Amino acid sequence: MSVGNSLHPLRYSFVTIGFEGDAGLLHLQARSMRLYCPPELIEEIIIVDNSSPGSRRKWQGELLYQYGDLASFVRIIPAANIAAMSTDTDGWLTQQVLKIEIASIVRSERYVVLDAKNHLTARLGREFLETLIGQPRMSGISYAGHPMQEFLERTLVYLDLDPKAHIGWFTRTDTPFAMLTNEVRELVRHLEQREGRPFASVFLDGILSEFFLYSGFLMSKGSLWQIYNRTQEREPQVWPDNADEKGCAAAIQKATQTGCPFMTVHRRALARMEEKGQRLMAEFWHARGLFASTKDGIRFLRDPNRIHQNYGGQVVSWPISMIVSHFSSPAETDSPNSAELAP
């Protein structure tokens, strides 16, 4: 495992699997990366478009606009270019396959998987991703009684590991998650040789889970804890079941006290967030420079996909946003135009 050094520190690829329905959150994520992700950490930024066939692509150009000077790092790639899957396969499953199969085109030794629900609220330092000696960090939880317990058990059984030995603590099943590119490629080769068919088919038929599969594969080789350090801080999270004032306040308090750079806010949490929770979150985002004002943050929270977010985080609600978006399209701004937009 390469760990880099002070003269040649590792750069990371940042990979987000998204679709048109996550456009608002993806724009927020891009703006947060522009504000808080140092360019010296970045090898590339890959956005895998997992939208349904025939979906509009306007959101992609606006996404590059939000990345600003980081747009030169960005590649936007259709999911079909990464893995062949039936169009009627559930998106929650296809995005898991894509997080693994993307390793085939990643240019760096490590890549950080993100979802649209992740964004930065503080500077992303190298210390969040790795230890002083370059060992990648990860975290984990107990899966006893957890909604993902069945997935963990099924995945570990597939890998000939004893689930009972690991239910009490196993690696996280959500993002951000740093992966070693060559280890992921080896995992794909191993499963395809073992089963004699494409990885996507193996994964979907087995109803497996991507991060459990990756971590379990390393564990089966006896290398998981030789590679990873378990001390990564868990980011504050807002899910649909804690999207009230109390839950938002707890997430903000954790972000403030721990300095963890990432925050997770699920799109379904936005729909459930009550007025007091919206105000708390909007005030926090404004204080971190993600929105131009608290009112702009509230407009976003009320309907993230029916608004236009400008470069500085000002928000115009639909239908005015349709007019504003037209006259402030990325092609007419000073945003970089060197990003690769895959066909």
Model pLDDT for residues 210-256, shown as the tens digit of each residue: 999 999 999 999 999 999 999 999 999 999 999 999 999 999 999 99
What pLDDT score was predicted for residue 6?
Answer: 55
What pLDDT score does 341 carry? Answer: 40
CA separation for the pair 8, 126 (Å, rounded): 13
Two structure tokens written together for 142: 């107990």
The pLDDT tens digits for 2-39 are 555 555 689 999 999 999 999 999 999 999 999 999 99
State the Cα–Cα distance between residues 236 and 255, nearest whole angstrom. 6
What would the mean pLDDT of 123-145 be, rounded to a whole number? 96
Average pLDDT of the segment spanning 291-317 = 93
pLDDT band (50, 70, 90) for residue 88: confident
Q: How far, in Å, CA of 38 to CA of 25, rounded?
A: 20
Instruction: Assess whether pLDDT exceeds 70 at residue 89.
Output: yes
Q: Per 3-state DSSP, what percentage of the chain is helix, strand, and coil (rounded to 5)? A: 50, 15, 35
Q: What are the counts of helices (DSSP H) followed by strands (DSSP E) for the chain?
A: 14, 13
Q: Name which residue leads in pLDDT, 96 or 333.
A: 96
Q: Is 176 left (phi over 0), alpha (psi -120 to 50) or beta?
A: beta
Higher pLDDT, 63 or 340: 63
- In this prediction, residue 337 carries a pLDDT of 35
Could you tell me if 169 and 140 are in contact, meaning their C-beta atoms sit under 8 angstroms apart? Answer: yes
Burial of 151 (0-12, 13-18, 19+ CB in 10 A): buried
Is the peptide bond preceding residue 176 cis, with omega within 30 degrees of 0? yes
Q: Decide if 214 contacts 223 (C-beta within 8 A).
A: no
- In whole angstroms, give the CA distance from residue 263 to residue 284: 11
Mean pLDDT of the 159-167 span: 97
Q: Are strands 262-265 and 170-171 parallel, antiparallel or unpaired?
A: unpaired
Q: How far apart are CA 209 and CA 194, in angstroms?
A: 18
What DSSP string describes 75-109?
Answer: EEEEGGGT----TTS-HHHHHHHHHHHGGGT--SS
Q: What is the mean pLDDT of residues 270-291?
A: 97
> Residue 31 in contact with residue 313, Cβ under 8 Å?
yes
Side chain identity, residue 335: S
Q: Which residues pair with 315 in a beta bridge?
A: 309
Task: List the structure tokens of 66.
Answer: 């939000």
Across residues 37-62, what is the average pLDDT? 91
- pLDDT for residue 335 is more than 50: no
Mean pLDDT of the chain: 91
Closest CA to 183 of 211, 151, 205: 211
CB 134 within 8 A of CB 3: yes
CA distances from 282 to 116, 246, 300, 315 (A): 18, 15, 9, 12
pTM of this structure? 0.91
Neighbours of 57 (CB within 10 A): 12
Task: Give percent above pLDDT 90 in the chain.
Answer: 84
pLDDT in the model for residue 306: 85
- What does the pLDDT read at residue 7? 58
**Per-residue pLDDT band at 83 (split at 50, 70, 90):** very high
